[in-house]
């Protein structure tokens, strides 16, 4: 009888450990960014602001991650002796090859998101959705869920979404919650293609 209870409890413990500890590690795959870029150095030493690189085009659309042209304006030659700088110059600037950046915040195919509406009309700060990327000394590894194909940032860092900070995820529920809090409209065709 006791043996049966122990067996049941053991099974539970195994499942709990697997589900809470091993599952998040198994679920996400990790890939490094092609270049170890430091937002902090660019902000502090070059005095760059978010919108200097992540800019809007003249027609109002958001340019997203800057193209190599933007970087090579300053990095025509190596600006330092670090391994990251050497990697960037040798593998990308010199052969004029675009780095294949992995976007943490890319929304799925069936959604479009307007930065212009949120930044220019809604006056949201970049950090409110993207966190303090501007103060980071390096790029964190890109984590993605191979089943859904989504970046971990879309779901939010905690796998159970418990204790998720405000704007800590970019799921539809997060968009709707924010619009509801602000008393803004939210309808299907507002975001879905």
Q: What backbone phi and psi angles, to 5 degrees, belong to 36?
A: -80, 85
- Using the rule CB under 8 A, is 23 a contact of other proteins? yes
Nearest approach, Cβ of 73 to other proteins (angstroms)?
A: 19
Tell me the sheet residues that pair with 62.
56
- Using the rule CB under 8 A, is 101 a contact of other proteins? no
Q: What is the dihedral of CA 98, 104, 109, 112, to 10 degrees?
A: -100
CA distance 94 to 114: 34
Question: What is the DSSP code string of 71-119?
Answer: HHTTTTS-SS--HHHHHHIIIIITTT-------TTPPPTTB---HHIII
Nearer to other proteins, 42 or 161 (CB): 161
Q: Residue 53 carries which DSSP code? A: H
Binder among 32, 77, 149, 173 for other proteins (CB under 8 A):
149
CA distance 35 to 98: 11
- Using the rule CB under 8 A, is 193 a contact of other proteins? yes
CA distance 148 to 82: 36
Binder among 37, 101, 150, 186 for other proteins (CB under 8 A):
150
Nearest approach, Cβ of 82 to other proteins (angstroms)?
A: 31
- Using the rule CB under 8 A, is 110 a contact of other proteins? yes
Site for other proteins in 60-89 (CB under 8 A): 60-62, 64
Helix (H) or strand (E) holding 150: none
Binder among 109, 123, 163, 183 for other proteins (CB under 8 A):
109
How many chain residues bind other proteins (CB under 8 A)?
40
- Using the rule CB under 8 A, is 13 a contact of other proteins? yes
Residues that bind other proteins (CB under 8 A): 2-16, 18-20, 23, 27, 57-62, 64, 108-110, 112, 145, 147-150, 159-160, 189, 193
């Amino acid at each position: 009888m006791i043996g049966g209870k122990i067996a049941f409890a053991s099974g539970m413990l195994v499942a709990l450990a697997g589900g809470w500890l091993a599952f998040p590690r198994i679920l996400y795959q990790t890939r490094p960014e092609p270049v170890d870029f430091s937002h902090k150095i660019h902000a502090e030493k070059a005095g760059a602001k978010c919108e200097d690189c992540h800019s809007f085009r003249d027609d109002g659309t958001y340019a997203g991650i800057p193209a190599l042209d933007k970087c090579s304006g300053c990095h025509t030659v190596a600006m330092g002796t670090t391994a990251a700088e050497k990697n960037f110059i040798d593998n990308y600037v010199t052969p004029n090859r675009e780095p294949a950046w992995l976007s943490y915040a890319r929304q799925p195919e069936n959604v479009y998101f307007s930065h212009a509406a949120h930044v220019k009309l809604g006056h949201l700060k970049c950090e409110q959705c993207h966190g303090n990327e501007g103060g980071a000394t390096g790029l964190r590894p890109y984590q993605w869920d191979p089943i859904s194909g989504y970046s971990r940032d879309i779901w939010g860092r905690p796998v159970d979404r418990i204790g998720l900070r405000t704007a800590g995820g970019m799921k539809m529920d997060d968009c709707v919650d924010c619009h509801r809090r602000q008393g803004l409209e939210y309808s299907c065709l507002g975001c879905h293609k």
